[in-house]
């Protein structure tokens, strides 16, 4: 059975349709229309006789040429060899970054992750490269295995790439797989990544904590150690935090202090400081409070090595002492926190352009402090310190002591506006 549709067009415009356009208009109106009898397709022979999906299905995905794959493999081997041999010069890794921009578009997920890992371990600081890697990773999220998904979140957190869209894609994909093949270690990795990047996917976090809270009671000491103090304080709920601390107390983590590795003891001492200064855990069971008290008293057993000042901090110290006559203590140890450039109860923090700031796409150049840096500044403030800070790039751009003195005077007087500053024009480079 055929259907006939008649259309009547009446031109109500004052001048009507120009005579020169009437043949073209009639040609359009005389064309055959789509019919529901053929599944929504146009009549046979019509240019749009096929749906888009059907037309695309005729073209198989193009395989990456063997020559391109060989170039990718050679590039990755070069990156990893440079890391092994500690060849970390800035010009070399700038060239690697330009080459990576050419090859990333055809790389598989495994190769993109290897590339990201290499540049993170080399402490390469060009945010444009990390943004490009994030864009390529977003294409691969749906087809990634659960293990690759956790590896992706781990290295994104290490790189400081705070891409809301990418984290939403990865979080939604992880939410669909929680009950398929996610293990306890993978739960912890996802939580650590969200805490480190200061990003929250409410549905994912709620599902993770609902499943993970009962698992705390059976976790090993190695698994308990992998949960970051930042995650415990900022991501876990009261119920999940209580279950985690109960397991730590049961395993007597970090104690006795003399028989514990220094880095493990310092990890749990830092956790105790975070809980005491930011959470005020007065409602915890007695067993947990006793464990926390023993960690606090273990300060005498924990010998924190005193690092040497960097050349930049030594230069700042020289200007403070010699040019401005300000008594300054180079290094002060306050609990687990090592303070540099201390003047009474004032501590001067020099922010690293890469390590203390996120890489933030689509923010118009605005920079955000990393969650770990904000946590350190909060702890210092709660301990009674006044924290003053400026970016190291500002100091490196000054060549004369007069300008360096002016910068320090502005910082010490509170007239230095740090939050309004944009990243430097030359955003590339390597530490």
- Residues 183 and 26: their CA atoms lie apart, in Å, by 66
Average pLDDT over residues 285-296: 94
- Residues 49 and 293: their CA atoms lie apart, in Å, by 76
> What confidence tens digit (pLDDT) does each residue in 141-185 have?
988 999 999 999 999 999 999 999 999 999 999 999 888 889 999
pLDDT value for 422: 44
- Residues 114 and 77: their CA atoms lie apart, in Å, by 10
More confident residue, 430 or 366: 366
Q: How many residues does the chain have?
A: 431
Q: Is pLDDT above 80 for 413? A: yes
The closest of 140, 80, 130 to 109, measured between CA atoms, is 140
pLDDT value for 234: 95
pLDDT value for 30: 65
Q: Is pLDDT above 70 for 60? A: no
DSSP symbol at 51: -
pLDDT value for 416: 85
pLDDT value for 224: 97
Q: Which residues contact 254 (CB under 8 A, 6 or more apart)?
A: 260, 264, 265, 267, 268, 269, 295, 298
Q: Is pLDDT above 80 for 50? A: no
Q: Which two three-digit tokens encode residue 423?
A: 């990243």
More confident residue, 64 or 240: 240
Average pLDDT over residues 374-400: 95
- Angle, helix 127-140 to helix 146-159, in steps of 10 degrees: 160
Range picked from 14-28, 109-123, 294-308, 352-366 for highest mean pLDDT: 109-123
SS3 386: strand
Task: Give me the DSSP letters along 9-32.
Answer: ----SSS-S-GGGHHHHHHHHTSP
Low-confidence winner among 144-148, 170-174, 302-306, 402-406 (lowest mean pLDDT)? 302-306
Low-confidence winner among 27-36, 90-99, 114-123, 242-251 (lowest mean pLDDT)? 27-36
Average pLDDT of the chain? 87
Q: Is pLDDT above 70 for 25? A: no
> What confidence tens digit (pLDDT) does each residue in 190-237 have?
999 999 999 999 999 999 999 999 999 999 999 999 999 999 999 999
Q: How many Cα atoms occupy the beta-carbon half-sphere of 237 within 13 Å? A: 12
Q: Which two three-digit tokens encode residue 289?
A: 């409070």
The Cβ of residue 316 has, within 10 Å, a number of other Cβ atoms equal to: 23
Average pLDDT over residues 360-386: 90
To the nearest 10°, the Cα dihedral for 50, 52, 53, 58?
A: 70
Burial-class residue 345 by CB neighbours within 10 Å (0-12, 13-18, 19+): exposed
């Amino acid at each position: 059975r055929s259907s006939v549709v008649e259309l009547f067009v009446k031109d109500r415009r004052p001048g009507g349709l120009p005579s020169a356009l009437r043949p073209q208009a009639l040609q359009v109106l005389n064309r055959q229309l789509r019919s529901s009898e053929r599944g929504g397709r146009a009549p046979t022979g019509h240019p749009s006789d096929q749906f888009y999906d059907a037309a695309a299905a005729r073209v198989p995905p193009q395989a990456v040429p063997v020559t391109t794959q060989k170039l990718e493999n050679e590039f990755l081997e070069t990156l990893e060899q440079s890391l092994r041999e500690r060849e970390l010069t800035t010009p070399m890794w700038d060239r690697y970054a330009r080459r990576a921009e050419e090859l990333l578009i055809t790389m598989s997920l495994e190769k993109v992750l290897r590339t990201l890992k290499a540049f993170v371990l080399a402490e390469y600081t060009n945010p444009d490269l990390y943004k490009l890697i994030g864009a390529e990773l977003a294409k691969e999220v749906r087809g990634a295995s659960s293990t690759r998904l956790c590896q992706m979140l781990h290295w994104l957190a290490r790189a400081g790439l705070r891409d809301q869209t990418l984290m939403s894609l990865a979080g939604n994909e992880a939410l669909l797989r929680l009950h398929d093949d996610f293990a306890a270690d993978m739960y912890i990795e996802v939580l650590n990544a969200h805490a480190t990047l200061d990003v929250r996917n409410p549905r994912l976090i709620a599902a993770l904590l609902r499943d993970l809270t009962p698992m705390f009671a059976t976790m090993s000491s190695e698994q308990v150690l992998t949960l970051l103090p930042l995650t415990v304080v900022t991501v876990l709920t009261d119920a999940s935090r209580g279950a985690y601390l109960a397991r730590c107390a049961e395993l007597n983590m970090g104690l006795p202090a003399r028989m514990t590795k220094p880095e493990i003891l310092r990890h749990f001492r830092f956790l105790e400081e975070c809980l005491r200064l930011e959470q005020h855990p007065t409602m915890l069971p007695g067993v947990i409070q006793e464990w926390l008290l023993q960690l606090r008293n273990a300060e005498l057993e924990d010998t924190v090595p005193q690092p040497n000042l960097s050349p930049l901090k030594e230069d700042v110290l020289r200007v403070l002492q010699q040019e401005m006559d300000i008594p300054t203590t180079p290094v002060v140890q306050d609990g687990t926190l090592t303070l540099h450039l201390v003047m009474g109860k004032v501590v001067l923090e020099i922010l690293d352009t890469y390590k203390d700031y996120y890489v933030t796409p689509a923010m118009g150049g605005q920079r955000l402090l990393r969650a770990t840096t904000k946590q350190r500044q909060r702890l210092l403030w709660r301990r009674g310190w006044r924290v003053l800070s400026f970016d190291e790039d500002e100091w490196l751009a000054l060549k004369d002591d007069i300008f360096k003195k002016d910068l320090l005077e502005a910082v010490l007087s509170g007239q230095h506006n740090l939050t309004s500053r944009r990243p430097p024009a030359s955003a590339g480079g390597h530490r």
